[in-house]
Chain A
Amino acid sequence: MTTLGSDFKANAAKALADAELQRALLNVKRGFVQKRVDAKARLPEFDTLRDEARAIKLHTLSHLDLYLDYFERKVADSGGQVHFAPTAADAREIILKLCRDADAKLVTKGKSMVSEEIGLNACLEEAGIEAVETDLGEYIAQMRNEAPSHLIAPIIHLNKETIAEDFRRSHEGLAADRTLGSAADLVAEARAVLRQKFLAADVGITGANLLIAETGSSVVVTNEGNADLTQTLPKMHIVIASIEKLVPTLEDACTILRLLARSATGQEITTYTTFATGPRREGDADGPSAYHVVLLDNGRSEMLGGSFNDMLSCIRCGACLNHCPVYATIGGHAYGSLYVGPMGAVLTPALVGIDHARDLPNASSLCGRCEDVCPVRIPLPSMLRAWRERDFARDNPKFREKTALKLWAYAAKRPRLYHALSGAAVKLLALLAGRSGKLSWLPFAGAWTRNRDLPAPEGETFHQLYAKRTQE
Chain B
Amino acid sequence: MTEVLTAGAPLVGLFVTCLVDLIRPSIGFAAIKLLEDAGARVEVPLAQTCCGQPAFNSGDRADAQAIARQVVDVFEGFDYVVAPSGSCAGMLKLHYPKLLADDPAYAERAKALAEKSFELTRFLVDVLYVEGVDATYAARVAYHESCSSLRETGSSWAARRLLQSIRGIDLVELPDSEACCGFGGTFSVKYSGISSAIGEAKARTIAATEASCVVSCDLGCLMQIAGKLSRDGKKVQARHIAELLANMIEAAPIGGERIQP
Contact = CB atoms under 8 A, between A and B. Distances in A.
Contact of A365 (B24, B187, B251, B258): B187
A462 B25 contact: yes
B63 A458 contact: no
A267 interface: no
Interface in B10-58: 16, 18, 20-26, 28-29, 44, 46-50, 52, 54-58
Task: Kindly name the residue among A372, A392, A438 whose own CB sees the greatest number of chain B CB atoms within 10 A.
Answer: A438
B44 A466 contact: yes
Interface stretch (A162-170, A313-321, A339-347, A449-457): A449-457
Interface in B185-239: 185, 187-201, 222-224, 226-228, 230-231, 238
Nearest to A464: B25
A178 interface: no
A263 to B, nearest CB: 16
A463 B180 contact: no
Contact of B255 (A411, A437, A460): A437
B257 interface: yes
Interface stretch (A216-224, A279-287, A290-298, A401-409): A401-409
Contacts of A179: none
Contact of A463 (B16, B24, B61, B194): B16
B255 A367 contact: no
Contacts of B238: 455
Interface residues on A, range: 35 or more
Given A368-B147, A372-B151, A452-B199, A385 B56 contact: yes
Interface in A262-289: none
A452 B256 contact: no
Interface string A433-453: 011111010000101101111
B240 to A, nearest CB: 11
Nearest to B253: A437
B5 interface: no
B90 to A, nearest CB: 10
Contacts of A452: 196, 199, 224, 227-228, 230-231
Interface stretch (A63-71, A87-95, A134-142, A324-332): A324-332
Interface stretch (A8-16, A74-82, A122-130, A229-237): A8-16
B26 A448 contact: no
Nearest to A8: B191
A401 B60 CA distance: 11
A436 B227 contact: no
B192 A448 contact: yes
Interface residues on B, range: 35 or more
Contacts of A406: 60, 63
B159 interface: no
Interface string A357-381: 0000011111111001000000000
B257 A413 contact: no
B191 A457 contact: no
B4 to A, nearest CB: 15
Nearest to B252: A437
A389 interface: yes
A385 B59 contact: yes
A12 B25 contact: no
A329 B256 CA distance: 28
B102 interface: no
B63 A438 contact: no
B217 to A, nearest CB: 14
A457 B22 contact: yes
Contact of A369 (B180, B231, B252): B180
A466 B49 CA distance: 14
A366 B197 contact: no
Given A33-B176, A461-B25, A388 B196 contact: no
B60 A364 contact: no
Contact of B231 (A365, A408, A453, A470): A453
Interface in A391-427: 391-393, 401, 405-406, 408-409, 411-413, 415, 418-419, 422, 425-426
Contact of B198 (A365, A393, A412, A425): A365
A390 interface: yes
B59 A390 contact: yes
Nearest to A359: B191
Contacts of A440: 231
A326 B179 CA distance: 11
A365 B21 CA distance: 22
Given A412-B50, A451-B196, A392 B60 contact: yes
Nearest to B255: A455
A457 B23 contact: yes
Contact of A438 (B21, B44, B230, B251): B230
B156 to A, nearest CB: 13
Nearest to A467: B46
Interface of B: 1, 16, 18, 20-26, 28-29, 44, 46-50, 52, 54-61, 63, 66-67, 70, 147, 151-152, 176, 178-180, 182-185, 187-201, 222-224, 226-228, 230-231, 238, 251-252, 254-258, 260
5 smallest CB-CB distances across A and B, nearest first, come from A365-B184, A388-B59, A455-B255, A392-B59, A452-B227
10 contacts: A368-B151, A389-B59, A392-B58, A412-B18, A425-B22, A448-B227, A455-B227, A455-B254, A461-B25, A465-B29
